[in-house]
Structure 1
Amino acid sequence: MKRFLAPVVGLALICGFMSALSPGVAQAAAGPCIGAPAADGTTYTETRQFVDSQAWWVPDTDQANNSTTNHGHVHMGACIPERETISSGNLTVHVRVVLHDNPGKANYVSMVFKTSDTETTVQKCYLRATAANFSCPGPSSTGKGDFVCTGTCERWLTFSRPISSFNHSGTQEVRFRGFVPEPGGNEMRANLNWQVNIQNGASASNVSRYPFLRGKGWYTNAQYCEASVRAVPLPDGPVSGIWTPVVGLSTHPDGSLPTTHSFVSIDPDFHAVPTNAGTVLWDAAGPHGPDPFGAAPISIDTRTLTNGVHKLHLRTSCRDNKLGSTNSGVTVIPFTVAN
């Protein structure tokens, strides 16, 4: 169960959003991961949700659509113990990587532990064409990964590191970074940042720089475009009535291209033919929300949804006029409805 909220230092505009669960959100016991793909049937000690981060390099409607401007998507998702307490053993996470209409040769995914004063890559797992799923392969003979795909393909990686690798206890951050070199020398990256409560006996020091769940798309020149969830923690149990999570759809604040579009939907399927946009809640130019980071509540009337698990899709797009396409960062979170 979630037992804490991280303090936010120096982010006064965000503080009001870092709240506990809103009315109508219940807590649930540990067990299977909420929203997990069938391949990950693990029963976890703590509550976990399958959160998917996606990077898109796809042209806008008025940009040329060709082999340079359209590199499809890379998805990187995992059952994460977001804001849960881990007090012994290893932090073990199964990561799914999906290439969709992506011409690149996927390289590797890294797991990074971020504390208040260090940022350490603790493990790399390479994406290999012939490696077994739920392993952590090393590089090929070239020193890199060699996973390529026609259409849609997936690979599962397993990361596991002792919690003693964190040099502090308290609210710590875990980052997954997936690297896909693309034809022509550019690169696409998917990034997933999330927080966990580590109790390993080390000195207490909470991470405080942007301590909220966020998925980030990165592309050469465009840099970061991100979609985040500010109303932490994620709901462990069912929501009902009007659920109003706070979300942020904005550019990364460190020199990346500005946000040109933001989009929020429930249960879309962009791989369907024809594309299914789902129940669209927001579709507008610019960021979502009035603050510098684009954060604002989004109202979801769960009474219009069937009971069961649904997916909230958050997408931020940052147009790149220099390279002639659009970089997008996507975060997809599951939630359970029970009315």
Structure 2
Amino acid sequence: MPDIDQANNAITNTGHTHMGACVPEGETVSSGDLTVNVRVVLHDNPGRADYVAMVFKTSDRETTVQKCYLRATAPNFSCPGPAGSDTGDFTCNGTCERWLTFSRPISAFNHSGLQEVRFRGFIEEPDGNSMRTNFNWQLNIQNGKSPSDVTRDAFLRGKGWYTHAGYCEASLRSAPLPDGPVSGIWSPVVGLTSHGDGSRPATHSFIAIDPDFHAVPANPGLVLWDAAGPFGPEPSGAAPYSIDTRGLANGVHKLHLRTSCRDDKLGSTNSGVTVIPFMVAN
């Protein structure tokens, strides 16, 4: 989406895509299938959503284990096949959602130990560019195979990818997430940076509690950080951010992390966002 000083038109503004799931982040899975329901939302996005891929990433292999296609008429909580040659046909005017159900045996991981799951969503925009939403997380797999932990960027992160702009990433490095309530001063380690490898640099970083940008007017929530540049040293650094939970009501809140990476060639700005629910009990 364009920054405030970039022209706002059908070429520079292609809206955005949400992808979310309830996942066993940091937990141990020792039998059966890994089954995850994934929610995909298009918001003011003129593109055609194709599919979401579930990828198993180990220390020496990255394997797409399942593709679920985004179909206009398919029932929710299914894994539809393509509408054509490796494409979906889900389009939206305004805000629309679809639920997909992924399920693969844990034997599909070629190692045991700390392993990574990646969800990648693919949306083709009218001008021929591509938007991808990416969500990466880890869990402990015990499937009887040789142990070998994944070590590269082994933390929870959301990444936006766009043609030419590359990746822009918002990550929570304090892994695993707290399983229970937090209280007092909670200091999660946050990385709001570019992904490196030729991607555009981070030009803005933003941290807030409980924003609602779809409200009219938009509600930015409790803004904790809003500044030019990355939060944490580029290209892959991070730093703790202290949150005084005593100023929050007891109950569930959402930590919103956003990194923006301006691309002057496209006349627009690519962003990666990660939103993490957490419980406060003081």
TM-score, normalized by the shorter chain, greater than 0.5: yes
Match of 1:121 in 2: 64
What are the within-5 Å matches in structure 2 for residues 273-284 of structure 1?
A: 273-284=216-227
Q: Which amino acid aligns with 1:298?
A: Y
Alignment of 1:171-320 (within 5 A): 171-290=114-233, 292-320=235-263
**In 2, Cα distance between equivalents of 1:292 and 1:150:** 36
Does the CA-based 8 Å contact 2:204-2:226 persist in structure 1? yes
More relative contact order, 1 or 2 (CA 8 Å, 6+ apart): 1
| AA aligned opposite 2:138 | Q
Specify the SS of the correspondent of 1:247: strand
Q: 1:104 aligns with which of 28, 37, 47?
A: 47
How far apart, CA to CA, are the structure 1 residues paired with 2:40 and 2:183? 32
Q: Deviations over 1:288-327 (max 9, x none)?
A: 0246424111111111111110000000000000010000
2:11 is aligned to 68
| Match for residue 73 of structure 2 among 126, 130, 141 | 130
Which of 91, 101, 105 aligns to 1:162? It is 105
Query: Retained in 1: the 8 A contact 2:194–2:234?
Result: no
Secondary structure at the residue paired with 1:107? Answer: strand
The residue type paired with residue 259 of structure 1 is A
**Could you tell me which residue of structure 2 aligns to residue 93 of structure 1?**
36
Distance 1:168 1:276 in 2: 44
Task: Name the SS for the 1:164 alignment partner.
Answer: helix
Counterpart CA distance in 2 for 1:192 and 1:215 is 5
In the superposition, relative to structure 1, how do residues 143 and 206 fare at CA in structure 2: closer, same or farther (>3 Å)? closer
Aligned counterparts of 1:114 and 1:168: Cα–Cα separation in 2: 10
Q: What TM-score comes out, normalization by structure 2 length?
A: 0.99
Deviations 1:78-103 (A, max 9, x none): 11110100000000000000000000
* Counterpart in the other structure of 1:15: none
The answer as to whether partners of 1:246 and 1:298 remain within 8 angstroms in 2 is yes
1:88-128 Cα offsets, whole Å, 9 max, x none, are 00000000000000000100000000000110000000000
Give the structure 2 partner of residue 337 of structure 1: 280
| Contact in 1 for aligned 2:193/2:234 (Cα 8 Å) | no
1:82 to 3, 25, 39: 25
The gaps in structure 1 that reach 5 residues or longer are 1-57
Partner amino acid, structure 1, of 2:244: D
Provide the secondary structure at the position in 1 that maps to 2:246: helix
- What amino acid does structure 2 have at the position aligned with 1:94? N
Q: Is the 8 A contact 2:39 2:97 kept in 1?
A: yes
- SS of equivalent residue, structure 1 residue 195: strand
* CA deviation profile, 1:170-227 (whole Å, cap 9, x unmatched): 0000000000000110010000011010000000000111111110000000010000
> TM-score, normalising length from structure 1?
0.82
| SS of equivalent residue, structure 1 residue 147 | coil
Q: Determine which structure has the larger strand proportion and give its number.
A: 2
Map Cα deviations across residues 253-287 of structure 1 (whole Å, 9 max, x no partner): 21101010000000000101001000000000000
- Cα displacement (A) at 1:141: 3.6
Question: For residues 182 and 141 of structure 1, what CA distance do their matches in structure 2 show?
Answer: 17
In the aligned structure 2, how far is the partner of 1:332 from the partner of 1:132?
26
Q: Report how far residue 142 of structure 1 moved.
A: 5.0
Q: Give the residue type in structure 2 aligned to 1:103.
A: P
CA distance in 2, matches of 1:177, 1:92: 16
CA distance in 2, matches of 1:163, 1:111: 13
